[in-house]
Amino acid sequence: MAESITKRRADQDENDDLMQLVGFKIDREQFGVNILMVQEIIRSAPITPVPNSPEFVEGVINLRGDILPVIDLRKRLNFELGDDGDDTWILILDIDGRVTGFIVDLVTNVIKIEESEIEAAPEIATSGLENQYINGVVDIGGTLMILLDFNRILQTDELIRLKSLNTNQ
């Protein structure tokens, strides 16, 4: 009996080191976000532009009565603008109690990794201010996935402006 309890504890400790990620693409790059931040994934929704908002804010959406700001992650990460087709997805994330939508090109899959597999991003990649929100990288079958820290992806003044988008509706 004691052996089975010890085995269960060892299995539980192993599971504690596992992390689930939602994979998504922007252009040809693979990104990931901790699944615990993801509230919902939706196909493109009608977005209402908001005057005088930051360039990367596409506008707001009405998601079952809640007005949420929507950020174009392609613009925020300084990728070249692609065609604005209907093939985009919106990740609805809870970032410290602020629910925000992020437009991505494609949601790929949910994967489990061990936290020990996450490597620090090379210093040269994170030296710029705009890259400070990279948590690390992980090798997924020969392809590197960049893990983003959405808690840092917006700066304080941008968060204040986004909060005002929520309260003006």
Which range of residues forms the domain containing residue 136? 20-167
- Residue 159 domain-assigned (yes or no): yes
Mean pLDDT, residues 139-154 taken together: 87
- Residue 156 domain-assigned (yes or no): yes
Alpha-carbon span 2 to 4, nearest angstrom: 6
Does position 1 have pLDDT exceeding 90, yes or no? no
Which range among 25-39, 45-59, 112-126, 133-147 shows the weakest confidence by mean pLDDT? 112-126
Banded model confidence at residue 160, pLDDT cuts 50, 70, 90: low
Average pLDDT, the chain: 80
- Residue 8 domain-assigned (yes or no): no
The number of folded domains in the chain is 1
- Residue 5 domain-assigned (yes or no): no
Structure token digits, residue 145: 């996935």
Mean pLDDT, residues 145-156 taken together: 80
- Residue 32 domain-assigned (yes or no): yes
> What is the H or E stretch that residue 105 is in?
none
Enumerate residues 6+ apart whose C-beta is below 8 A from 64: none
The strand ranges marked E within 44-167 are: 57-63, 66-72, 89-95, 98-104, 106-114, 134-140, 143-148
81 versus 161: which is more confidently predicted? 81
- Residue 1 domain-assigned (yes or no): no
What CATH number does the domain containing 70 carry? 2.40.50.180
Does position 44 have pLDDT exceeding 70, yes or no? yes
Of 153, 20, 136, residue with least CA distance to 78 = 153
Can you give the pLDDT at residue 162? Answer: 57
Q: What is the number of alpha carbons within 13 Å of residue 48 lying toward its C-beta? A: 10
pTM metric for this prediction: 0.78
Can you give the pLDDT at residue 5? Answer: 46
22 versus 13: which is more confidently predicted? 22
Structure token digits, residue 51: 């005057």
- 156 phi and psi angles, rounded to 5 deg: -55, -45
